[in-house]
Amino acid sequence: MRQVAILGVGQTPVREHWDLSIRQLAVAAGRAAMADAGVERVDAIFVGNMTSGQLNQQHQLGALIADYLGQRGVEAVKLEAACGSAGSAMRQGLIGVASGEMDAVLVIGVEKMTESPARETTAALATAADADYEVVQGVSFVGLNALIMRRYMHQYGYQHQDFAPFALNAHANGAKNPNAMFQERISQKEYERGRVVADPITLYDASPIGDGAAALLLVPAEKAPQAVRVAGSASATDTLAVHDREDPLWLKAAEKSAHAAYTQANVTPDDVDLFELHDAFSVMAALSLEACGFAERGQGVRLAQAGAILPGGRIPISTMGGLKARGHPVGATGLYQLVETTLQLRGEAGAAQIDGIRIAMAQNIGGSGATVVTHVLQRT
């Protein structure tokens, strides 16, 4: 297996893009990544997307995007693992290059959600949960996460306001990212007055949906010795239904995939300088920090309260806004995380730049922890 490098990155702002179709979003990000890499022809395109069939009446995005990117004819396919789709696309693109089967691979995550009525979007998001045993009970996806958050508060003795540091950090960081959907800081008071979506989750605990696309151009590392290197890559799964898990407060797949990625990269959590985690809901940020070894069980919130997740802290998270403030175009998010991580490692994160980082991790989660893809990136 060859080492793989990230030679180019591209992204669109996360917005309500009423003037751009799903193919246009994907093409914008893909072209940007190719231009950044100085590559005009790729061997394959892997697309991460979740809801295009339901919300855009469009399947077969691989071939469609290849055509509109000026790459008509190349191998192209879509990967889907709910909100973990883009991380999954990255993983397949990586294996394609690492294997020697492909020399230049474009990986694109894209999602266009805001054109659809809210009830359709809510139904589409619920397909990430178990249709036969969860959704049939009437629970929405945010409802499921509300149950998890309530359980976390009960088990570890937290109040709702204790989760504020996650939202405050994300919004403060989003304010430094011109591509973020929300670019305004929020205060503790605003957090505490957040409108309830599904008790105890308020608007400030839930990431917003959005339209957007992000892309990476992958090549063998020997062809790009200066480029950011993929040092670890792993994917793992867990039950879709939260009630089927031994412990609903432990992200087993996050632990498993992070551990595998650490081993490949020959690092420990202590070596990781930055962690773009999947903060779709504030409780998921806490659970990810715990499962990946940055905090003891039940201490993820305390880690945040201690300031460790801030830009100057021990383990900065959501440095460009995270899902919470950058926005969460579900099947594209995993690639936004990787684009942002790469920019940070290249020292090109602008006002959001974290100084002196060498090892960074991005973790993309599908469902309530059912598919977890972890990548460890390294500056060369």
Catalytic residues: 83, 328
Determine if 101 is a binding residue for a copy of itself (CB under 8 A).
yes
Residues 346 and 106: their CA atoms lie apart, in Å, by 19
Site for a copy of itself in 311-330 (CB under 8 A): none
Determine if 120 is a binding residue for a copy of itself (CB under 8 A).
no
Which CB, 81 or 303, lies closer to a copy of itself? 81
Residues 328 and 145: their CA atoms lie apart, in Å, by 15
Determine if 237 is a binding residue for a copy of itself (CB under 8 A).
yes
Q: Are 202 and 334 in contact (CB under 8 A)?
A: no
Residues 333 and 349: their CA atoms lie apart, in Å, by 17
Determine if 219 is a binding residue for a copy of itself (CB under 8 A).
no
One-letter amino acid identity for 142?
A: V
Which CB, 37 or 63, lies closer to a copy of itself? 63
Binds a copy of itself (CB under 8 A): choice among 73, 157, 225, 312: 73
Q: Using alpha carbons, select from 138, 251, 151, 134 the residue that is nearest to residue 200.
A: 151
Which CB, 32 or 365, lies closer to a copy of itself? 365
Stretch touching a copy of itself by CB under 8 A, among 146-154, 175-183, 233-241, 276-284? 233-241
One-letter amino acid identity for 245?
A: R
Determine if 100 is a binding residue for a copy of itself (CB under 8 A).
yes
CA angle centred on 203, ends 198 and 205, rounded to 5°: 85
Binds a copy of itself (CB under 8 A): choice among 9, 86, 234, 285: 234
Site for a copy of itself in 248-267 (CB under 8 A): 252-253, 256
Determine if 99 is a binding residue for a copy of itself (CB under 8 A).
yes
**Size of site (CB under 8 A) for a copy of itself:** 64
Determine if 367 is a binding residue for a copy of itself (CB under 8 A).
yes
3-state DSSP call for residue 361? strand
Q: What is the DSSP string of 196-254?
A: EEETTEETTTBPPP-BEEEEEEEEEGGG-TTSEEEEEEEEEE--SSGGGSS-TT--HHH
Structure token pair of residue 291: 């499962």
Element (H, E) at 124: helix 118-126
Binds a copy of itself (CB under 8 A): choice among 40, 41, 131, 296: 131
Determine if 21 is a binding residue for a copy of itself (CB under 8 A).
yes
Q: How far is CA 208 from CA 24, 177, 182, 295, 326, in A?
A: 21, 16, 9, 26, 9
Determine if 51 is a binding residue for a copy of itself (CB under 8 A).
yes
Q: What are phi and psi of 236, to 5 degrees?
A: -145, 165
Residues 107 and 122: their CA atoms lie apart, in Å, by 27
Which CB, 322 or 367, lies closer to a copy of itself? 367
Which CB, 63 or 345, lies closer to a copy of itself? 63
Determine if 63 is a binding residue for a copy of itself (CB under 8 A).
yes
Bridge partners (DSSP) of residue 47 are 78, 108
CA angle centred on 363, ends 357 and 367, rounded to 5°: 160
Determine if 19 is a binding residue for a copy of itself (CB under 8 A).
no
Stretch touching a copy of itself by CB under 8 A, among 27-35, 197-205, 236-244, 316-324? 236-244
Binds a copy of itself (CB under 8 A): choice among 57, 189, 222, 355: 57
Minimum separation from the CB atom of position 81 to a copy of itself (A): 5
Q: Which residues bind a copy of itself (CB under 8 A)?
A: 1, 21, 23, 50-54, 56-64, 66-67, 72-82, 84, 88, 91-92, 95-96, 98-101, 123-124, 126-128, 130-132, 135, 234-240, 244, 252-253, 256, 366-367, 370-371
